[in-house]
Structure 1
Amino acid sequence: MNCFVGVDVGTTNIKALAMPSDLSQIVAHASAPVTTLHPESGYAEQDPTEIWTAFVQVINEVSREVTDAGHVITHVAFCTAMHSLLPMAADGSSLGNAILWSDNRAEEQADALRTTKADLGKAIYAQTGTPLHPMIPLCKLAWFREHDPRLLRRTAHFGSIKEFLWHKLTGEFEIDYSIATATGLFNESKRVWSELAMDYAGVRVNQLSTPVPTTYQRPYQPRPETAGVGLPSGISLVIGASDGCLANLGAGAIKPGTATLTIGTSGAIRQTVQKPLRDAQVRLFCYFLDEGYYVVGGPTNNGGNVLEWVSEKLTQQDTATVLTEAATVSPGSDGLLFLPYLQGERAPLWDASVRGAYLHVDWQHTRAHFVRAALEGVLFNLLSINELLTHHTGPARVIHANGGFAQSTFWVQMLADIAGIPVRLNASNESGSMGAILLTMKAVGVVKTLDEAAERVAFGNTFQPDLERHTIYRAAFKKWQEAQKKL
């Protein structure tokens, strides 16, 4: 049986999933970690050599499992994290580490586009749909322009981690429209690089990749650079899209009224719309998925990393113990509130310098209260983003949840209780890889539309909200929002 492979290149792990075109079973699955480096305060980088090694390991493992099961890989599609920036030589070799979305060195450049150069910033946002923040390559390049102009001049090519891997496999510098719209450099309506953004960033069009549709394919032909990659010659490589967009597709969240909430290390809440959307206050992103499908929403820096902080630094307990402790406390944490801004914030504040806080600390509050308030604070923040989103899209009737937090039934039920609407989980939590496979189905004609592809997504449990707890949370959320506004 022929198999499609979806590769999810994240900033924590590289994962791959192999399934037949009828999605009847998971034929193979593999994962390998990648390390994030912090050479200076506020920096976040990864070694592209390590990324390539992890990618090769995952592909080889999946290839072996597919072969052992008597199946054949015909297509490999890519889902990758957004906003990375990697300087490369003309032959595609790296000239340094990849700078990740979580790198905040370009805070000053992002602030300038929101304040002293606000008119320029709004004009760039109108073209690109990318909020102005240190995460985006536009601001990272502007930082290089001011702090390392020599690197900016001598770099033959600037690209993302996906472009680095794609060039390794194909020998071509190409970028899909989805990753391109997340750079802050791409004129989405014209499908070309923005002259306005490039001028600010200090780059030339020949330093950037050729933009192509997310369903774009190239035949794989082994090259010296791909020695050790366990893929047969002649299979099709599908360039795919970004992790946020494919998480929506892989979660089956395509129709109006369906929101997708993802919490991994960071988090996001998104909806899929039919036309590009812009927020007048530049608070929401709008990224391309496919023709007639755009993913709009807001990302948070503070998701699963808050649970990690609570576990490792606040309580020094493992996460299972921490979650069990939190369940002993009543909803609303007896008035204790937590603003979860441990690593600055993207949506809804777009302020890399903001920091978190506990509020209304009382004698009665125990360690378990502090844990539960932290978990509630993460969800309150995501739902404050959702309020911005629903102003443009209308209210969500159901939330499709995915990411690492979906492994905790306690935290997912808390989401349903706070939001007051059902929360649905996928049968598989690998929404990025699944989205890449569904996009491949559209690319090869197995389905005609992404709506049809999304209908094939299998679901697991649905969590219904408890109305009594929702009433308590509604009052707590109002107090939390009042505290947030003071920031």
Structure 2
Amino acid sequence: MEKRYFFGVDVGTQGARIVLVDQLGELVASEAQKFELLDTFRQEQSPLIWWTKTMEMLSSLTAELPTWVDKSDICAISVTSTSGTIIPLDKQNRPIHDALMYSDPRSAAQGERCQEIAKRYVKHGYTGFNASSGISKMCWFVDTFPERVDDIALWIHASDYIVGQLSGNYHTTDYTNVLKSGYDLETLEWPSFVCEELGLKRSWLQDVVPSGTVVGTLLPHLATALGLGEIAVVVGMTDGCATQMASGAVKPGDWNTTIGTTLVIKGVTKKNVIDPSGTVYSHRHPEGYWMPGGASNTGADWITIDFSDDLESLTIAAEALIPTGELAWPLRQEGERYPIMAPQARGFMPEGISRELLFAANLEGVAFIERLAYEMIEALSGEHVRAVYSAGGGSNSDVWLAMRASILNVPVYKCKEASGAFGAAIMAASHTYYDSLIAAAAAMTTIEKEVLPNPRLQPMYAQQYQCFKNKLKDLNYI
């Protein structure tokens, strides 16, 4: 079989990664770089740093490819990055200000205003704007720097900047990036309130296409410098959606849970999932389906903070202690956003128990939040969760996988390679080598491990989960 290859680039908050994979999903090469960041990196970052590191990675990777890789067989490149991070460009496509990061809280007041106005105009689309939304940050910038407004020619998203640097096309973005910038994914247009009520100019807003669309080719001077041919540049994607692609959860009924610092759940449904509370929101699938989900403040950060020193021994101990019968919720910050919207929420843990038992109970607590999220999804969508594809650092624990399968009562699949960069590579292949995202994911993802619910654990966990829900009710969180 003739080989074809695809680049996937992931620009994260503190670093970037690039992979080169073939059309069957085999990893050929990878490269990673850390960013040198200021203390304010969660508010603002220089896009030039992202680009410099991306080019360093591309140069290093292409220079050290295995001898059996023919560079002329490299077909396409795509990019994933953080959702809600935006950059104002001038007429020469130069940033007039550093990127406003998704984690920048300064646009909270603008987020409330955007949400209030959007709810008057949008009946079935996304209106849950807040400080992490791109549209809120656009309004904040205009309010804060009125003297710079005339310099703005275009607002773009994080992955769009790298796509623009690669291809020269900064004016096109995809369905996933624009959700939090105000674009209506039902009508596939920028709604009138964005300009008429919020005062943003239509000329500042990008053209929007399905994820996986080819938007250009690698600029000639870059192709020459890297020794590459005329490879296609594919529109970018948000990191959560890219990880979902890499996990293999791309068909209706498929769901992905990524457990990293936070817990992110995304899936595929035939119909748009409408959540009046705004807790669940839906991206548009390239094939016309919907990709609902949400991001929790609960995740695995508590492991890094409190249990990393003896993680291996704690994991061995946990296997013998479950089900624990204890109620723990390792929420490390005040407030939860998904599957419950409770800004006053605080985590809880039992007192007077061993470190090993607390560790196991915390693992269960995250899985209970995951189950609550899926119950909410099923109630809103009327569709059934058939299986959960797992990604993130949390998927590396066999004990946690087994626990989650029994608590969720569905099979849990761990894919061989489930990173944002790998998801970007799948997007790069989806309409350059394959004819759809579903076809590309089917060919390029591999299930490394299948974990089924344990009949012995299921009834005990069903009872413990109900006690967990009752505890949340008693605390007025649900």
TM-score for both structures, normalised by structure 2: 0.87
Kindly report which structure 2 residues correspond to 1:321-400, keeping only aligned pairs within 5 A, or say none. 322-324=314-316, 326-327=318-319, 329-332=321-324, 334-338=325-329, 340=331, 342=333, 344-350=335-341, 353-359=343-349, 361-363=350-352, 365-391=353-379, 392-400=381-389
User: For the Cα contact (< 8 Å) 2:7–2:20, is it kept in 1?
Assistant: yes
Cα distance change on mapping 1:70 and 1:256 into 2, 3 Å: closer
Unaligned runs of 5+ in 1: none
Which residue is 1:18 aligned to?
A: 20
How far 1:111 sits from its partner (Å)?
Answer: 4.2
**Percent identity for Structure 1 against Structure 2:** 21
Alignment map for 1:237-276 (pairs within 5 Å): 237-276=233-272
Aligned residue in 1 for 2:168? 171
| Separation in structure 2 between the aligned mates of residue 310 and residue 152 of structure 1, nearest angstrom | 46
- CA-CA distance at 1:27 after TM superposition: 1.5
The amino acid of 2:192's aligned partner reads E
Q: Which runs of 4+ in 1 moved over 6 A?
A: none
- Structure 1 Cα separation of the partners of residues 35 and 122 of structure 2: 32
Any stretches of 5+ residues in structure 2 without a counterpart?
Answer: none
Match of 2:180 in 1: 183
- Partners of 2:431 and 2:437 within 8 A in 1: no
Per the TM alignment, residue 337 of structure 1 is displaced from its structure 2 partner at its CA by 1.8
Q: Is contact 2:295-2:338 (8 Å) kept? A: yes
Q: What residue identity is the alignment partner of 2:219?
A: Q
Query: Structure 1 residues 207 and 264 mapped into 2: Cα distance closer, same or farther (>3 Å)?
Result: same
Matching of residue 293 in structure 1 with residue 295 in structure 2: no
Match of 1:305 in 2: 301
Q: Which residue in the other structure is 1:104 paired with?
A: 105
CA distance in 2, matches of 1:419, 1:344: 24
Determine helix, strand or coil for the equivalent of 2:361.
helix
Matched, 1:474 2:465: no
Query: C-alpha displacement at 1:76, in angstroms?
Result: 0.9
- Is the alpha carbon distance of 1:484 and 1:104 closer, same or farther for their aligned partners in structure 2, counting shifts above 3 Å? farther
**Aligned partner letter, 1:221:** L
Question: 1-side partners of 2:410 and 2:124: how far apart?
Answer: 34
Describe how 1:116-155 pairs up with structure 2 within 5 A. Answer: 117=116, 120-123=117-120, 126=123, 128-129=125-126, 131-152=128-149, 154-155=151-152
Shift of 1:297: 1.2
Give the structure 1 partner of residue 279 of structure 2: 283
> Which of 449, 453, 460 is equivalent to 1:465?
453
Tell me the residue number matched to 1:414: 403
CA RMSD of superposed structures (Å): 2.9
The alpha carbon displacement at 1:417 in A equals: 2.2
**Residues 141-170 of structure 1 deviation map (CA, whole Å, 9 limit, x = unaligned):** 333344444445543332211122122222
TM-score computed with the length of structure 1 as normaliser: 0.86
Contact 2:9–2:16 under 8 Å retained in 1: yes
Question: Corresponding residue for 1:55?
Answer: 54
Q: Is the 8 A contact 1:340 1:377 kept in 2?
A: no
AA at the equivalent of 1:39: T
Q: Which of 1 and 2 has higher RCO (CA within 8 Å, sep 6+)?
A: 2
| 3-state DSSP of counterpart to 2:294 | strand
**Structure 1 residues 198-213: aligned runs within 5 Å:** 198-213=195-210
Q: What are the superposed Cα offsets for residues 206-229 of structure 1, whole Å, 9 maximum, x if unpaired?
A: 222232332123111245xx6996
Task: Call closer, same or farther: CA 1:244–1:303 in 2, change over 3 Å.
Answer: same
| Matched-pair contact (CA < 8 Å) for 1:131–1:283 | yes
Amino acid at match of 2:245: L
Q: Which letter maps to 2:393?
A: G
Segment of structure 1 superposing worse, 278-287 or 44-53: 44-53
